[in-house]
Structure 1
Amino acid sequence: MNIVILNVSYAEKNAAKALGARWNADLRKWYVPGGTELAPFARWLPEGTVAAAQTPATLAENTGPYEVAGITGVPLSQLMGRVRALVQHSFAQGVWTLVEVSGVQARNGHVYLELAERDGTGAVLAQARGMIWAARAAQLLPEFNRATGIEVAAGIKLLVRARPVFHERFGMSLEIDAIDPDYSLGDLEARKKQIRLRLQQEGIFDANRQLPPPWDFNHVLVLSPENAAGLGDFRAEAQRLEQYGLCRFTYVHSRFQGEGAGGELARALLSGLQACRQAGQQPDALVIIRGGGAVNDLAWLNDYELARAICMLDIPVLTGIGHERDSTLPDEVAQARYDTPSKVIVAIEQRIVQRAREARDAFEQARSLATRALQHRRLQLEQQHTLVQQGARRVLADARQHSGQWFGDLRLSALGHVQQARRNSQLFMEQARAQAQQQLNVAHGQVPMLLAQVRSRAESMLSAARSGSQLQLQAIVGQSRSELAHGRQQVHEQLSTVQHEAARQVQAARSQSRASLDNLLQLGRQQSRECAAGIRQDLGSVSHEARRSLGEARRQSTALFREIAGQGPDKTLSRGFALIRNQQGRPVSSATAVQPGQRLEIEFKDGRLDAQVVAIKGEPQHD
């Protein structure tokens, strides 16, 4: 077996052993087994051993000085060997160095790193290759992970103890034998602190945290990696809630680690929220979940663009990043933080159950209040009905009483007017007779006086005639006769006038009596009609008021039932609850209210079905 002997001091034996060197008890030397790469053991090999082992034979034969045209040259391997010796002499021990890992590869247990240093703009200032040999990597990397929770990966900054090593063929590299965990943790925290301070200066750091938690969950927007380990557990519970129509979940996916992951996450959540709103669906909350991982994987979430997008959202953000010990900036600025995705969905489910119980209690309370209100309204209606009946009876009794009084008063008034008319007629007749008799008496009294005057005048004229001529006698006689006829005519005319006036006054008295009687009868009829109309109007008012009171009671009862129906179990039914009624249509809320064989009706959100009680098992279950 071909072996390569190493010149290892006692102080370096553990380092050589860690790289895979073996101890030869016979030779009392450390050696490298055949087929093993010699580069890691270059510092313990005789000068030129590695180059000799890896240089073709044709070159090995020409390793001496070469001289041409007076210029003496040395082989490249010799020059590079001197460089190796110089580097080995200058860096006998490792130097603590700040590096940024830009690439990691593992082969045969060895870990090969691409290291760099960048300025503030991201420009590369220096690059180097780093190596952690298998034996050392098996011890160093688990210790670093236990101390920090960070896995060595691209993008992480490290403080490493590195020893420069130069190889004639592979060039310069850094052998790493220690990593300071405190520096890596401090760098991550410093980056978080810088972003946190910037958000606080903008006045938005607490914006989402100060939003009230969702009162209930009907629609949730979920942001996660497409194949995250925690997404399966979350979705299993979410599908159960969706199955019963209690909550709907919309998923958007983005990568959570790697360069630019924070910006992609911010754009993904904003585009998902915009899509929901364009579809007329306003999410109650945004959930950000991830299925665990190393701390440095979480470091990609400490991004300013992502944190700012969360702060500016107008809906609560719930995080379930999946890491109990360390928090990220999304955890700090979100309205609520949970350790794992499972705890997020449990919190959502608990809130839905809480609201369902509150809705059930509110429904029971509303039903109790409605029952009491209906009883109170029924009592009020009965009282109002009684009052209406009593009022109607009183109004009818008063109307009858007033009608009787009015008819009596009208009858008495009519009789009084008739009697008064009779008295007035008799009085007018008596007055007419008295006036006629008086005029007749006056006429009778005037006739003898006129006759006496005529006789006296006749005698005078006769005496004069006797003393005159016969012609004058005849003239006097003719004139006397004429005057007598004229007197008689005047007497007859005055008597006719008196009789005509008496008849006219009697006729006027009769007409006035008839008119007074007609007026009295018409007045009586009008008062009777007005009394009857008043009674009908009062009865109509009483009936209208009774109908209005009953209608108002019906409207109030209907409004109360609508209010109860508005607060009814429709929303609760849409979440998976059912309403059970008996054959009379009354709700059944206890198993003790039914008997085996009884038929029931079960109402779901989308229909009803008939059922029959087969058996009653155990005590009723309560939440």
Structure 2
Amino acid sequence: TALGALASSAGPDSSHRGIPLSRLLNGVSAAVAQAFAGGVWTLVEVSEATIRSGHVYLDLCERDSGGQLVAKARAMIWASTATRLLPEFERATGVVIAAGLKLLVRARPVFKSQYGFSLEIDAIDAAYTLGDLEARKKEIRIRLQQEGVFEHNRRLPPPWDYRLVLVVAPQDAAGLGDFRKEAERLSRFGVCRFVYAHSRFQGEGAAREIVAAARAALAELTLGSQAQAVTAIAGSAAVEVEVEVEVEVEVPTGPDAVVIIRGGGAVNDLAWLDDYELARFICDQTIPVLTGIGHARDSTLADEVAHLRFDTPSKVIAGIEQHALRRAQEARTAWEGIHAASSRIARDTQSILERQDAQIRTEARDHLARARRDSTAALHAVSVSARQQVHDAARASLGWVTQVHTEAAHDLAIARQQVPGLLSEVRFQSLARLGEGRGAASLAYRTVLDGANTRTRAALQASDDALQRVTERATDQIRQARVHAQALMREVAG
């Protein structure tokens, strides 16, 4: 061959001064063209892709299981081939050739003296690319299933209502504008509040950025909810202290759901979301995760593990609206049921109260009539008893007055009987002593006579005193009898 002929002339001498570089490279080009007359099906990974003047320029590589680079090469798809090849590939796979994509291509090695070694691609196996993407998804899916978390978020109960929703989306994602428009309408009417966290959704490391943005937003919302809880509890405690009324405070504990949305795109654009870390993050959430990624034909692992999957971002917000509407209708139906039940209970209660009121009125009239009859009889009995007691008291007081008069007259008679006797005794004693002392001297006689007079006065005074005491005793007994009779009369009359 030409390359062999060139190689045989190794070792310079006086007649050979070397060959031009172009001749050497042309020889290499001829050797490569002779060795690879046709294309070879080759497994490659795209590390960079650019289009200039209709030509597609690729940087291809191969990595080992550890991710280390083991081979690389430049490749191109000429415009004449690209106009046919790329639309067919994109229609079959939905994938646009870009970095990170693994391909099975038919490549023919070429070597040109001016540009060096490269590969010219004239065919791409779309089935291999689809199979590789699906194999990568299947591997992650099996891993999540073996870990027992694949259906964790899907099995969560739906929130009773959406009050706070975290939305994770690219900054200028297609479809985010329509989502925001409806979300702002819900927020304006106090139905639900939406908090947004932004991240890249394609390219190397996009899945990690999505997880990091979502975790940071969840942590911030959780801390905010805890602060609101402390404030609300402190406020309710103050109310309890001041008003002494138990206040129940409802405090949000964080978002009710996480929404992950982006607009449509090529399959390989969405393939960045077929990531284990992102899927595991969704599975581990204790609140429902809703996805609206791409279009109806698109499906990612994030959609598979999410609580609810919607075709587009607009359908996500529509689903939230329908949920809120359904809850509002349920609440209205429940309110109407409560109102009807309360009205029925009120009517039944009113009927019962009316029957009880009529019964109470009837029983009250009966009791009042019996009470009137009983009171009339009791009053008559009291009147008869009072008259009897007055009669008895009058009779008793009359007896007491008669007794007092009798005793007083008896005491007075005794006193009158005793006075003459005492006078007689005094006179007798005086006469006796007078007779005995008649022989004494005139002075003794007067002395005796004076003594007799003194005793006589004393006796008279004693009799007067006795009569006075009898009179006072009789008067006191009469007064006591009168007071007793008057008190008895008052008691009877009262």
| Fold conserved between structures, TM > 0.5 | yes
Inter-partner Cα distance in structure 2 for 1:470 and 1:352:
150
Partner-residue secondary structure (3-state), 2:45: strand
Inter-partner Cα distance in structure 2 for 1:446 and 1:111:
171
Q: Is the 8 A contact 2:170 2:199 kept in 1?
A: yes
Change (3 A) 1:429 1:226: closer
Partner residue of 1:76 out of 13, 16, 21? 21
Change (3 A) 1:304 1:524: farther
Would you say 1:174 and 2:146 are equivalent positions?
A: no
Partner of 1:191: 136
Partner residue of 1:216 out of 146, 158, 161? 161
Worse-matched range after superposition: 84-93 or 136-145 = 136-145
Q: CA deviation at 1:352?
A: 2.0
Would you say 1:518 and 2:487 are equivalent positions?
A: yes
1:371-386 alignment, distance < 5 Å: 371-379=343-351, 382=354
Partner of 2:332: 360
Would you say 1:303 and 2:272 are equivalent positions?
A: no
Worse-matched range after superposition: 499-508 or 103-112 = 499-508
Q: Is the 8 A contact 1:428 1:506 kept in 2?
A: no
Q: Is the 8 A contact 1:208 1:311 kept in 2?
A: yes
Q: Is the 8 A contact 1:242 1:249 kept in 2?
A: yes
Would you say 1:291 and 2:291 are equivalent positions?
A: no
Partner of 1:421: 393
Inter-partner Cα distance in structure 1 for 2:169 and 2:418:
145
Inter-partner Cα distance in structure 2 for 1:490 and 1:454:
8
Partner-residue secondary structure (3-state), 1:357: helix
Inter-partner Cα distance in structure 2 for 1:438 and 1:288:
129
Partner-residue secondary structure (3-state), 1:229: coil
AA of the residue aligned to 2:108: R
Partner of 1:20: none
Change (3 A) 1:216 1:126: same
Inter-partner Cα distance in structure 2 for 1:456 and 1:66:
210
TM-score by length of 2: 0.73
Inter-partner Cα distance in structure 2 for 1:85 and 1:350:
69
Partner residue of 2:43 out of 98, 103, 113? 98
Would you say 1:508 and 2:489 are equivalent positions?
A: no
Q: CA deviation at 1:158?
A: 1.7
Partner of 1:344: 316
Q: Is the 8 A contact 2:393 2:488 kept in 1?
A: no
Inter-partner Cα distance in structure 1 for 2:186 and 2:167:
14
Inter-partner Cα distance in structure 1 for 2:76 and 2:193:
51
Bigger relative CO (Cα 8 Å, ≥ 6 apart): 2
Change (3 A) 1:444 1:258: closer
Partner-residue secondary structure (3-state), 1:128: strand
Q: CA deviation at 1:128?
A: 0.4
Would you say 1:369 and 2:338 are equivalent positions?
A: no
Q: Is the 8 A contact 1:159 1:184 kept in 2?
A: yes
Inter-partner Cα distance in structure 2 for 1:199 and 1:400:
91
Would you say 1:320 and 2:289 are equivalent positions?
A: no
AA of the residue aligned to 2:299: S
AA of the residue aligned to 1:180: D
Q: Is the 8 A contact 1:433 1:502 kept in 2?
A: no
Partner-residue secondary structure (3-state), 1:263: helix
Q: CA RMSD for the aligned pairs?
A: 4.9
AA of the residue aligned to 1:74: I
Count of aligned residue pairs for this structure pair: 459
Partner-residue secondary structure (3-state), 1:221: strand
Partner residue of 2:174 out of 213, 221, 229? 229
Change (3 A) 1:200 1:426: same
1:350-499 alignment, distance < 5 Å: 350-379=322-351, 382=354, 412=384, 414-436=386-408, 497=466
**Percent of residue pairs identical:** 50
Q: CA deviation at 1:124?
A: 2.4
AA of the residue aligned to 1:302: D
Would you say 1:112 and 2:84 are equivalent positions?
A: no
Inter-partner Cα distance in structure 1 for 2:283 and 2:392:
105
Change (3 A) 1:343 1:490: same
Inter-partner Cα distance in structure 2 for 1:141 and 1:470:
192
Change (3 A) 1:71 1:515: farther
Q: Which runs of 5 or more residues in structure 1 are unaligned? A: 1-46, 49-63, 529-623
Q: Is the 8 A contact 2:274 2:302 kept in 1?
A: yes
Partner-residue secondary structure (3-state), 1:511: helix
Partner-residue secondary structure (3-state), 1:92: coil
AA of the residue aligned to 1:156: L
Q: Is the 8 A contact 1:162 1:174 kept in 2?
A: yes
AA of the residue aligned to 2:157: P
